[in-house]
Structure 1
Amino acid sequence: MDHIVTVQEAVTAFEDFMEPTDADLEAIERELPLINAEIGLLDAQIIVIDHTPTELDVRRIRRARRRVLAAHRDLVNGTAGRTGGVA
């Protein structure tokens, strides 16, 4: 008969290394506008899953796609999160 044992000691030995670093958190914060834009696009697509898209639905999805592209452009160009004029 095999005995089931816990691995608590093995898991808690690496507990200090399991938390995100400051660099990880900064990267997430930098990508947050893109993440939010992608969530908006997903929401717009979910709305039309069970029915034929109306003109309003099509516009909503198109605007959401533009927001994703703009957020991605800003992230790649390094302007995400900056306020004011042109970077």
Structure 2
Amino acid sequence: MKLIVPVQDAVTALAADLEPTAAELDAIEHEAPLIAAELELLDVQIALLDRPASPLDERRLRRAANKVLAARAEVANRGASVREGDAA
């Protein structure tokens, strides 16, 4: 039997390249509050998929969305202050 698919080398990264770098871990830690707020918003949105929203549900959704906005602003402001400190 003759193979019609070309034989190629593997294109996946080596095992040593699979671990995140220290800079990537710092970036994840820096954005952790935003990630948590986005997960909370997603949980509320998922809960509202199969039922109509009650006034309490609407309040939960608004609060979660506001929390995401506040976390985004905090991450953006903290990132700007870090850049300013690096430049000095």
Aligned length: 77
- Give ranges in structure 2 of 5+ residues lacking alignment: 80-88
Normalised to the residue count of structure 2, the TM-score between the two structures is: 0.75
Match of 1:37 in 2: 37
Runs of 4+ in structure 1 over 4 Å off: none
Normalised to the residue count of structure 1, the TM-score between the two structures is: 0.76
- How big is the alpha-carbon RMSD for the aligned residues of Structure 1 and Structure 2? 2.3
**Identity over aligned residues, as a percent?**
43
Matched residue SS, 2:31? helix
Match of 1:64 in 2: 64
Provide Cα deviations, 1:20-73, integer angstroms capped at 9, x if missing partner: 100000000110100000000000011110111000100000000011001000
Aligned equivalents of 2:4, 2:12: Cα separation in 1: 19
